[in-house]
Structure 1
Amino acid sequence: MDSFFRTLDVMAEFPNTLGVLAAYELVNDEESEACIPVIAAVVRDLKRHAKLKSEATGQRTLPIGYGAATTHPRDKMILDYLSSQDEADRIDFWTCKNYSWASPADMESSGYNEWIERYESTTIPFFFSEYGNNTNSPRLFDETVALYSPEMTRVFSGGCVYELWHGANRYGLVGMLPAREEGITPGKVRQRDRNDAYVAETRQTDQGTLRIFQDFMNYKASLEATKDIQPNNDRAMTGREGLVKGTTQDVGQVPESCVDWLKIEEDLGCS
């Protein structure tokens, strides 16, 4: 756990770090469900270390979350389990990937309505760690308006578009064409990217040409369209005690900590 603690301490130094994931996409089938109690143990130990470090040095305490691969029903079970531990040990937020909205779409065809119903009892912040289906180019990002609608914000807390910089998977909102590739290099041909046809704006930099794709402009417009939407803060809250009884017995008990807490407290000057 030492490397986990060091990473947590480093990330706490950056004021723009909003939270840290204890694990990401670890549970994807029945076999990997065996690691769920271990994830809970990691969350518990990270939060204990953060508390001790804060008391000893005043270090900022970061929220600890889990990143799921999907909005599969299995993930709802994991969410219930990790968010229903003792108050000092439970996750602070939950996140997952979602690329189901392929424009044109709506709440029903995308499955958003189904996920609202499935997760309406969620008791912690929940957001999409990645979204932005690129089946069509340019992307319209009309799901952004849906994501911040009163219907969705009753359960979800927004999301993060994938991704800023353009790469091999062609999801970028902007891309850099290095100066060395701008001219025709003898014997070298740059492979054409489908987003080349959707460059809305270019800016010259000392690194090359910054290309701003139409995806970026559409995303910016979608965000602008949400600025006057009032979120629905009437989040349904269920008793965590019921979640503990309903999920802990099914998944398994959280293992004991393997950390030498006496030594850590001594090193921090807590004892």
Structure 2
Amino acid sequence: MFTNTLRLALAALCASTVLAVPSLEARGADFVNPKTGNRFQILGVAYQPGGESGYKPESGVDALADGEVCLRDAALMQRLGINAIRVYNLSPEINHDACASIFNAVGIYMLIDVNSPKIGESLHREEPWTTYTPSYLNRTFAVVEAFKNYPNTLLFFSGNEVINDLKTGDVIPPYIRAVTRDLKNYVAKHSTRPIPVGYSAADVREFLIDTWNYLRCTTTADASDPSIADIFALNSYSWCGDSSFKTSSYDTLVADFKGTNVPIFFSEYGCNEPTPRIFTEVPVLYGPLMTPVLSGGLVYEYSQEKSNYGLVTINTDGSAKLLADYDTLQKQYNTLNVTALQGVKAVNSTITPPKCQSSIIKEKGFSNNFTIPAILKEAQVFVDNGVKLSYTPKLIPVTTTKVSQVVKQSDGTTIEGLSITVLADDESNTPSGQKPSSSGSSTSSSSSSAASPTASKKSGAGSVQASMGALTVVGLLFAALL
């Protein structure tokens, strides 16, 4: 007979258990689970509800500030089948534990931009020397500090489309490498695990490969240069409607990036002309023509904004409605062979980066100056000593799984009992095979409404606060109580 004290102790242990996705690394051309050696393909969406207006740090508001909102969106993303979100504008002064824990619980990684559109929170693309300041770097380090403890933080973007023409391509590349170096040095000193840092580029073919070569080349003989980008991403909208591998010029991208020494993926994709979108690029992006070179991508974007790229309409009262694009994307995801995508051993892990020299830059007018600015002494203090936040970021137990807001399918039917399914330790989310929302009636129970998502098993990585072994023991003890 178990005592009440033991019963309470066991209950407390279960309540404090936090399961975690496996933290990934960038190795050669792939994202890799360091325990299994399996590669990882990103099936993601851009996530910035409200756009720039949804970022109000002075009011404690950003995309990952409200746990109830994140729970609603995580449930819909879990049904959709994604495993990653990109979040652009975040304040390190806001505690993101609830949202980070919810996305972790459903097996979704976070790709975090360290910049924002606000003054002082990004580089000036034409006069970067005026904004590469200690206060700017302090802010970028604070973002790292705010997210480095979450195991589902996949990477940090040091910049987004800062190079958008030859004029900016002439002046800003050294500063992008400098910020990349500074972030990598901060991660190396203050994070318990390696977290990749890289750049999200505009898909301007005139100098795209020059941008890639500039950011990935090495100035040292042994490729130990900390200013080398760990990853390279591009925002690509060249596949529109019922296009093809060649018509979209995806074939050119694959040919140009073949032999990459860093993971490459689409940080945004999903042309919205014509609408509604049919996402016929999905089976190609995740098929044999592209997966040997690219590591997937993120659809732009989750919420419907003025630019009309949304998958979900979010109303001012917190209710939401799925759009036709959500249904079509879900159909395309459900055609994928997830085992073939995520269960393959990584290769190309020892590719040597090119030497930084003028010959790797082909477009006249693009920078071939590989001497980057030294970090300012005041900013080096932040690297040495770390940036202090008012809280200690950490995963917390996800005790609420049922969505409180009203959510409707694209046919207007309310989804009853919508909830998340908390995945087991070391699992990431994958397409579930569920039929799109517009194909039938609404779900009727919380167990079915979470879509019973198929999890991608990544054995070997540990959880933040408890291992699966501990959970097994607890389960057996509870069984004995019955």
TM-score (norm 2): 0.45
Secondary structure class of the residue paired with 1:139:
coil
5 Å matches for 1:162-173? 162-173=300-311
Residue 172 of structure 1: how far off its partner (Å): 0.8
For 1:137 and 1:174, the matched residues in 2 are separated by: 14
For 2:286 and 2:383, the matched residues in 1 are separated by: 43
Amino acid at match of 1:74: F
User: Residue in 2 aligned with 1:204?
Assistant: none
**Change over 3 Å in CA distance of 1:17–1:265 after alignment to 2:** closer
User: Residue in 2 aligned with 1:213?
Assistant: 323
For 2:328 and 2:260, the matched residues in 1 are separated by: 31
User: Residue in 2 aligned with 1:198?
Assistant: none
User: Residue in 2 aligned with 1:141?
Assistant: 279
**Change over 3 Å in CA distance of 1:105–1:234 after alignment to 2:** farther
For 2:157 and 2:293, the matched residues in 1 are separated by: 20
From 18, 33, 37, the counterpart of 2:154: 18
Secondary structure class of the residue paired with 1:19:
strand
Indicate conservation of the 8 Å contact 2:265/2:297, yes or no.
yes
Secondary structure class of the residue paired with 2:247:
helix
Residue 10 of structure 1: how far off its partner (Å): 0.9
Residue 177 of structure 1: how far off its partner (Å): 3.8
Residue 92 of structure 1: how far off its partner (Å): 0.9
5 Å matches for 1:170-249? 170-178=308-316, 207-208=318-319, 210-227=320-337, 230-231=340-341, 239-240=352-353, 242-245=354-357, 246-247=359-360
Deviations 1:17-68 (A, max 9, x none): 21111111111222212111111111111111211213xxx4x442101010
Indicate conservation of the 8 Å contact 2:138/2:379, yes or no.
no
Residue 159 of structure 1: how far off its partner (Å): 0.5
**Change over 3 Å in CA distance of 1:165–1:266 after alignment to 2:** closer
Amino acid at match of 2:207: R
Q: Structure 1: where are the runs of 5+ without partners? A: 180-206
User: Residue in 2 aligned with 1:53?
Assistant: 190
Secondary structure class of the residue paired with 2:232:
strand
Amino acid at match of 1:126: I
User: Residue in 2 aligned with 1:72?
Assistant: 205
Asked which structure has the greater RCO (Cα within 8 Å, sep 6+), the reply is 2
Q: By percentage of residues, which structure has more helix?
A: 1
Residue 15 of structure 1: how far off its partner (Å): 3.1
Do structure 1's residue 35 and structure 2's residue 172 form an aligned pair? Answer: yes
**Change over 3 Å in CA distance of 1:2–1:146 after alignment to 2:** same
Indicate conservation of the 8 Å contact 1:121/1:237, yes or no.
no
Residue 138 of structure 1: how far off its partner (Å): 1.9
Residue 259 of structure 1: how far off its partner (Å): 3.6
Deviations 1:193-248 (A, max 9, x none): xxxxxxxxxxxxxx33x2111211110111111125735966597532x4323448
Do structure 1's residue 113 and structure 2's residue 262 form an aligned pair? Answer: no
Residue 9 of structure 1: how far off its partner (Å): 0.9
User: Residue in 2 aligned with 1:44?
Assistant: 181
For 1:99 and 1:261, the matched residues in 2 are separated by: 37
For 2:162 and 2:384, the matched residues in 1 are separated by: 33
What is the aligned length?
235
Residue 69 of structure 1: how far off its partner (Å): 1.1
User: Residue in 1 aligned with 2:99?
Assistant: none
Worse overlay, 16-25 or 253-262: 253-262
For 1:228 and 1:61, the matched residues in 2 are separated by: 26
5 Å matches for 1:76-115? 76-85=209-218, 86-87=223-224, 88-115=226-253
Secondary structure class of the residue paired with 2:157:
strand
**Change over 3 Å in CA distance of 1:265–1:112 after alignment to 2:** closer
For 1:71 and 1:118, the matched residues in 2 are separated by: 13
Secondary structure class of the residue paired with 2:290:
helix
Indicate conservation of the 8 Å contact 2:180/2:227, yes or no.
yes
Q: Structure 2: where are the runs of 5+ without partners? A: 1-136, 362-366, 387-482
Residue 266 of structure 1: how far off its partner (Å): 6.1
For 1:75 and 1:101, the matched residues in 2 are separated by: 17
User: Residue in 2 aligned with 1:159?
Assistant: 297
Residue 140 of structure 1: how far off its partner (Å): 0.8
From 270, 290, 293, the counterpart of 1:132: 270
Indicate conservation of the 8 Å contact 2:185/2:383, yes or no.
no
Indicate conservation of the 8 Å contact 1:70/1:97, yes or no.
yes
For 1:116 and 1:11, the matched residues in 2 are separated by: 32
Amino acid at match of 1:244: C
Q: Taking every aligned residue pair, what percent have the same amino acid on both sides?
A: 26
For 1:17 and 1:160, the matched residues in 2 are separated by: 15
For 1:80 and 1:243, the matched residues in 2 are separated by: 9
From 361, 368, 374, the counterpart of 1:256: 374
Indicate conservation of the 8 Å contact 2:189/2:384, yes or no.
no
User: Residue in 1 aligned with 2:113?
Assistant: none
Secondary structure class of the residue paired with 2:356:
helix
